[in-house]
Structure 1
Amino acid sequence: MTTLGLIGLGRIGAFHADTLTNLPEISGLVVTDERPDSVAEVAAKYDATPVDSVDKLLSSGIDGVVVAAATPAHAELALAAVERGLPTFCEKPIAATAAESARVAEVIARSGVPVQVGYQRRFDAAFAAAKQAAYSGALGALHTVRSTTMDPAPPPMDYIRGSGGIFRDCAVHDFDVIRWVTGQEVLEVYATGSVQGDPLFTEYGDVDTAAIVVRFDGGALGVVSAARYNGRGYDCRLEVHGFDDTVVAGWDRGVPVRNVDPAQSGPSGFPSGMPHHFFMDRFAEAFRAELSAFVKVVQGGPIQGATVADAVEVAWIAEAATESLRRGVPVRIEEVKQ
């Protein structure tokens, strides 16, 4: 049995507390957060052990660590856990910038301590099947991959202010999955965006709607769309197009679209279910599978999810997209790496 420490009890941290508590291989959970009231609440709800500092958590005899704190703290917390030799699961991103991510990755690589990064779409059954179809050759040569992420509403503006922007916070999931599914590396991106909602996005140097065109080294093209306002629900879809076949993921009964085809609409048409409310209900099973896979890492198994090296490559893509938005021109990955 395994005891884990959980650092950060905000929206995703509290969600992880629920998921971890219900994994049969978890025998104990130690939790901490900057807010004592959140620590007390989560500890009481899930029968977890509360501690009032990260140092106490890391010294409590745990077997591994889950970092779910705010983005600016990821690097420091992950490195603190690695210094103790503790296998670590870190929510994306591992650091605020790509350059810092690369530096953190070097330290982690030298340590030899396993670190898994939180890109849960890799553990979704449909996304995994799309990857398998692409890798098997059943689709033929890939020419286009499309990935969409649209939130029903923005997170709190205090979160947006420190998030790093829509490319580093939201579209990184799309960048990770299109790279993972195609098996190709990104050469260049062109990004554009707009603010049509809360003007604070502009004040924080961010956008609420974005589109990104990606060029891969294998010849395929990627099209990524991200938005903070999608009133019908949480929309997350993937299309992989090859010369011989096409597969899709996310086109399930809960996809938040309204089909206006008269032959397909209505109660018996598609989609027939309640629209997905948010990423936590859409990917509940994927999060469970992801954290269960991390427990196996803690127990000595290999990393099945995203590695730190994967996270660094995704960070460079996000960096290039951010620069492309600022300059209004395509940006090569090699440019930002230099």
Structure 2
Amino acid sequence: MRLGLAGTGRIGTSHAETLKGFDEVTSVVVADVDSARARAASAKLGVEFADGIDALFQSGLDGLVVTAATDAHPKLITAAVDAGIPVFCEKPVAADIEGTLAVIDRISGSDVPVQIGFQRRFDAGYTAARGAVTSGDLGWIHTLRATTLDPAPPPAEYVPHSGGLFRDCGVHDFDIIRWVSGREVTEVYALGTNRGERFFADAGDVDTAAATLVLDDDTLAVVSLTRYNAAGYDVRLEVLGSRSNVIVGLDDRAPLRSVEPGVVALAGPAYPGFMERFRPAYTRELEAFVSVVAGRTTSPCGVADALEAFYVAEACEISRRERRPVGIDEVRR
């Protein structure tokens, strides 16, 4: 099959390199609004180059991978669906709920598959945790604890366009809590603080946050987020049940240091970032998309899933700003 890729930044270049290694993929064509960047990626990876997005769509694609900037996602998704081209798009679908709903409305009724990139669903640990929940091995679930702790803040210019800590970062935790638990979030209470760089506050954002989520069966989930965890990239999920518990992300490279006597330190080194931590998951996610393009499977994570996670993020942002509990029904359109 012939796959196109729109957006040749860090994750786009990585995805292009992964795709060209799949047996079913005969060619990969890359494009970017910055043609020079796309041309450089093409030469580096040994893949085809399209001089612009229009040229990419005219190059006879069987599927499209979107790793462009967020504001380009809606147009690229709808253009692919209109052209009958299955599309994979990194989260989010759009910059806000209204934009996401507009995409859903635009593609409703189409049978062209759309897959949204929530790579944690393809991580071996999260998959095992979901299996432990669905099998009943843990008993009934009373608590989930999720963390996404970045080792360093993003560039200052990124923050005003990121959507904020909950939408940009926490949305992954919100999606995976839904997916692992099999439940929906009904209410949130969130707080955020700024003790680091001033540019977060200047953008109306926070650098550290915590949120308590109530699920539809009264299970509680606690999510902790920060841009300042210099020990390393720390993403974990604890699932605590009436009979047993499991934890995702507790491996030799977790940036954790016990001060209990006699406890052996983890081998390390700590994960420096999300690409290193989730590289196998990204590969499995793209393998799943190839299967979708081939018509063997349906999309494992659709636009509706992205919308539900976005609702939770939106509710958390309102809760943080107004210092009150917010029901998901308040933000649902």
Q: Which category of TM-score, normalised to the shorter sequence, fits these structures? A: over 0.9
Residue 95 of structure 1 aligns to a residue whose secondary structure is coil
Distance in 1 between residues matched to 2:193 and 2:280, nearest whole Å: 33
Which residue of the partner structure matches residue 79 of structure 1? 78
Match 1:293 to one of 288, 292, 316: 288
Residue 60 of structure 1 aligns to a residue whose secondary structure is coil
Which residue of the partner structure matches residue 51 of structure 1? 50
Matched AA of 1:278: G
Which residue of the partner structure matches residue 169 of structure 2? 170
Quick check: 1:312 aligned with 2:311? no
Which residue of the partner structure matches residue 297 of structure 2? 302
Matched AA of 1:307: G
Matched AA of 1:298: V
Which residue of the partner structure matches residue 109 of structure 1? 108
Give the TM-score of the pair, scaled to structure 1: 0.96
Which residue of the partner structure matches residue 270 of structure 2? 275
Distance in 1 between residues matched to 2:66 and 2:298, nearest whole Å: 16
Residue 204 of structure 2 aligns to a residue whose secondary structure is coil
Which residue of the partner structure matches residue 35 of structure 1? 34
User: Superposition RMSD on alpha carbons, in Å?
Assistant: 1.2
Residue 284 of structure 2 aligns to a residue whose secondary structure is helix
- Tell me whether 60-69 or 196-205 shows the greater mean CA deviation: 196-205
Cα distance, 1:302 vs structure 2: 2.2
Residues 72 and 162 in structure 1, CA contact (< 8 A), matched pair in contact too = no
Report how many aligned residue pairs link the two structures: 333
Unmatched 5+ stretches in structure 2: none
Residues 235 and 249 in structure 2, CA contact (< 8 A), matched pair in contact too = yes
Distance in 2 between residues matched to 1:19 and 1:201, nearest whole Å: 34
Cα distance, 1:43 vs structure 2: 0.1
Distance in 1 between residues matched to 2:300 and 2:233, nearest whole Å: 23
Which residue of the partner structure matches residue 199 of structure 1? 198
Cα distance, 1:273 vs structure 2: 2.3
Residues 236 and 250 in structure 1, CA contact (< 8 A), matched pair in contact too = yes
Alignment of 1:1-338 (within 5 A): 2-264=1-263, 269-303=264-298, 305-338=300-333
Q: Where in structure 1 do 4 or more consecutive aligned residues deviate above 4 Å?
A: none
Cα distance, 1:304 vs structure 2: 5.3
Matched AA of 2:283: R
User: Percent identity, aligned pairs only?
Assistant: 49
Cα distance, 1:308 vs structure 2: 1.1
1:66-94 C-alpha deviation (Å, 9 max, x unpaired) = 01011121111111111111000010010
Residue 90 of structure 1 aligns to a residue whose secondary structure is strand
Residue 157 of structure 1 aligns to a residue whose secondary structure is coil
Cα distance, 1:206 vs structure 2: 0.9
Distance in 2 between residues matched to 1:72 and 1:330, nearest whole Å: 30
1:273-306 C-alpha deviation (Å, 9 max, x unpaired) = 2111111011110000000110000001223532
Unmatched 5+ stretches in structure 1: none
Distance in 1 between residues matched to 2:178 and 2:266, nearest whole Å: 28
